[in-house]
Amino acid sequence: MSGRLRLYAYGSCGLLVALGLAGAIAFSGTLGQVLALVLVSLGLVLATAFVFYEVGLSEDRERRRERAPRPEQRGRRRPRLDRMRGRRRRLG
């Protein structure tokens, strides 16, 4: 997620929360309460969803980085260690 897209996403969530609070102040009674409840809830749920989305993207990047072969390991293969049944492996 680029910086500009992140700014738009979280900015729109903050705008929804601000509009909900302004609607609660501007309209009295049930309309103001419902408007505030819907807009503030929607803004907070979307902000939480964006946080989880970013966490998922960072985990995907980390997995991709782990799977990619490092430059020093590309041509080299690890030697296979011989083991006899019932005995431990010798590492030297």
Q: Find out whether 51 and 67 touch, Cβ atoms under 8 Å.
A: no
* Number of domain units in the chain: 1
Minimum mean pLDDT range among 28-37, 49-58, 73-82: 73-82
If DSSP codes are grouped into helix, strand and coil, which group holds residue 92? coil
Tokens of 26: 């501007």
80 within a domain of the structure (yes/no): no
Helix (H) or strand (E) run with residue 72 in it: none
Name the residue range of residue 46's domain.
3-70
Residue 77 lies in a domain: no
pLDDT per residue over 10-39, tens digit each? 999 999 999 999 999 998 889 899 999 999
Answer yes or no: is 13 within a domain: yes
Q: In the prediction, which pLDDT does 56 show?
A: 93
Among 38, 41, 40, 5, which Cα is nearest to 21's?
A: 40
Q: Phi first, then psi: what are they for 88, rounded to 5°?
A: -75, 160
Confidence (pLDDT) at 83: 61
3-state secondary structure of 88: coil
Residue 90 has pLDDT above 90, yes or no: no
Q: Is a pLDDT exceeding 80 seen at residue 87?
A: no
- Residue 65 maps to a domain: yes
Using only the alpha carbons of the chain, give its radius of gyration: 27
